[in-house]
Structure 1
Amino acid sequence: MYHSLSDFFKSWEFEAGATSRVLKNLTDESLKQEVTSNQWSLGRIAWHTVTAIKVISSQAGLRFAAPSEDWSVPSSANIIAESYTNASNSLIEALETQWADETLLEQIDFFGMKMTKGSLLLFLNQHQTHHRGQMTILMRQAGLSVPGIYGPSKEEWAQFGMAEPRQTLFD
């Protein structure tokens, strides 16, 4: 739970930056990548991550312009990445103008769950982290490079002058 907007802003800056880097590595073709035919595609997860910013935060009364319909999925990876950046920036602007630190203690009903607005912001951050993890797996399956998030990715180890990690424990 966040107790101050500035704490959320610091956390969101990092997490949104990480999500943005992931989305910017997608290609139009990769949006079709699926684990199985009855599961969400990479594009569907990416677009859901965009639209969830407004859907989740609107449950706490925040008002701002951003996509909220997660069907149909855009066929352009650039549109998804740009929409994410715009939605993220709009969220921050809405928080700066519509809430104060005291607002974070207010109780809300979030799809039948009682929580504070500060907890809702934590949920929003965790939600995008969850879907970002799903996207990185599908990105690997689609043959894309994955940016490092909480440390270097496989492709980034050499940039740090380090050997690539072993593939198995038995190498």
Structure 2
Amino acid sequence: MYQSLQSFIEEYRLESASTQKVLDALTDASLKQEVAPGYRTLGQLAWHLVHNDEGMLLGAGLKFEAPAANGEPPTSASEIAEAYRKVTAALLQALESQWSDASLLEKNNMYGQVWPNGLTLYIYLKHEIHHRGQLTVLMRQAGLQVPGVYGPSKEEWASMGVEAPV
């Protein structure tokens, strides 16, 4: 749980930059990739990160512009990546203008439980990280080069002339 709004903002800036890097590597053709029939496609999963499960943050009282959660995702990878860029900026601006450290202690009903906003932000960020990991697996299945997130990817190691550790 976050005790300081600034600590969340700093961590979110780092994590969202990594998510942006992953989204920027998608192609239009890759958006149809699915892990198995009946599961989210790469495009649906990427779009889920764009609309940022805004219900979680709206439920905590934060107001910012984000695409509606319902409906089909765009068929353009660059449109998804650009939408994420805009939503991330709007989210950060909303946090800086609407909340303070005291806001992190305010409690809201989330999914039948009572969460302080500091916990909501923590879970929100972990939710994004979880789905970003799913994206990278689907990217591999779609034949895309996966950008490094917490270190170099296999291809990035190779471009440095180093064999990737196993």
- With the shorter chain as reference, the TM-score category is over 0.9
Moved more, 13-22 or 48-57: 48-57
Number of aligned residue pairs: 166
1:76 match: 76
Structure 1 Cα separation of the partners of residues 136 and 19 of structure 2: 10
Structure 2 Cα separation of the partners of residues 83 and 90 of structure 1: 11
1:47-62 → structure 2 map (5 Å cutoff): 47-62=47-62
Extract structure 1 runs of 4+ deviating beyond 4 A. none
- Structure 1 residue runs of 5 or longer lacking an equivalent are 167-171
Structure 1 Cα separation of the partners of residues 21 and 53 of structure 2: 17
Moved more, 61-70 or 77-86: 61-70
1:169 match: none
The one-letter amino acid paired with 2:148 is G
Structure 2 Cα separation of the partners of residues 17 and 51 of structure 1: 16
Does residue 152 of structure 2 align to residue 158 of structure 1?
no
- Whether the aligned pair in 1 keeps the contact of 2:52 and 2:66 (CA below 8 Å) is no
Deviation of residue 52 (structure 1)? Answer: 2.2
- Structure 2 residue runs of 5 or longer lacking an equivalent are none
Cα distance per residue 1:36-68 (max 9 Å; x no partner): 121110000000111125222101011111113
The one-letter amino acid paired with 1:43 is G
- Whether the aligned pair in 2 keeps the contact of 1:74 and 1:80 (CA below 8 Å) is yes
Moved more, 68-77 or 156-165: 156-165
Give identity over the alignment, percent: 47
Moved more, 117-126 or 68-77: 68-77
- Whether the aligned pair in 2 keeps the contact of 1:16 and 1:88 (CA below 8 Å) is yes
Moved more, 155-164 or 142-151: 155-164
Structure 2 Cα separation of the partners of residues 159 and 6 of structure 1: 36
Structure 2 Cα separation of the partners of residues 17 and 95 of structure 1: 17
TM superposition score normalised by structure 1:
0.93
